[in-house]
């Protein structure tokens, strides 16, 4: 049996997520958005979700959709539920290396009312609720980030860029 070859790069746009092994690298750009990466060291499988806002304003009525990948993943509640659902098809959550990135303050002021801050807070609450100790955290600040996950090795490359210079 011949295994399919991996495609090189898959870009995850805001509101997108991916979990699997078909791609060698997963990439995204982050400002106030947050990305969660997940990688399994034995299975060599991983994923990335990129959400824009903490919670969907309309999904609270549709609780049944929360664990379905087709939910609106612009929102953390849906994106993290989709990632969790995909991960659990392979192993328990505690077996994955989970990392969180982003949540930068895109404006000249930094306050507890910023979108980035709210996105970070949601990620932290989700990790605590799921009893996950993150493998790596790189959040906040007045920077944007370029993030690449190497699926075969779990390496994560992050570049920081100043957002509010000048």
At residue 4, does pLDDT exceed 70?
A: no
* C-beta neighbour count of 48 within 10 angstroms: 28
What residue ranges do the domains of the chain occupy? 7-162
- Which residues are 47's β-sheet partners? 19, 38
DSSP 8-state symbol, 130: T
Question: What's the average model confidence in pLDDT over 141-160?
Answer: 97
The residue that leads in pLDDT, 57 or 75, is 75
Residues of the chain above pLDDT 90, percent = 77
- At 74-126, the pLDDT tens digits run 999 999 999 999 999 999 999 999 999 999 987 755 555 789 999 999 999 99
Q: Domain spanning 7-162 has what CATH number?
A: 3.30.1330.200
In contact, 58 and 46? CB cutoff 8 Å: no
At residue 25, does pLDDT exceed 60?
A: yes
**Residue 9: predicted pLDDT:** 95
**Residue 59: predicted pLDDT:** 54
By CB atoms closer than 10 A (0-12, 13-18, 19+), residue 103 is: buried
By CB atoms closer than 10 A (0-12, 13-18, 19+), residue 166 is: exposed
Q: Structure pTM?
A: 0.86
* pLDDT category of residue 61 using cuts at 50, 70 and 90: very low
């Amino acid at each position: 049996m011949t295994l399919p070859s991996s495609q090189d790069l898959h870009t995850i746009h805001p509101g997108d997520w991916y979990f699997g092994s078909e791609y060698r690298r997963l990439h995204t750009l982050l400002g106030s958005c947050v990305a969660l990466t997940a990688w399994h060291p034995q299975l060599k499988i991983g994923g990335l979700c990129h959400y824009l806002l903490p919670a969907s304003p309309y999904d609270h009525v549709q609780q049944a959709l929360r664990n379905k990948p087709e939910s609106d993943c612009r929102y953390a509640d849906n994106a993290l539920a989709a990632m969790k659902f995909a991960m659990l098809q392979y192993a328990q959550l505690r077996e994955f290396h989970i990392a969180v990135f982003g949540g930068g303050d895109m404006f000249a002021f930094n306050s507890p009312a910023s979108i980035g801050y709210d996105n970070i807070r949601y990620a932290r609450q989700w990790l605590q609720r799921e009893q996950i100790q993150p493998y790596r955290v790189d959040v906040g600040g007045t920077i944007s980030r370029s993030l690449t996950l190497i699926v075969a090795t779990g390496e994560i490359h992050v570049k920081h860029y100043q957002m509010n210079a000048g």
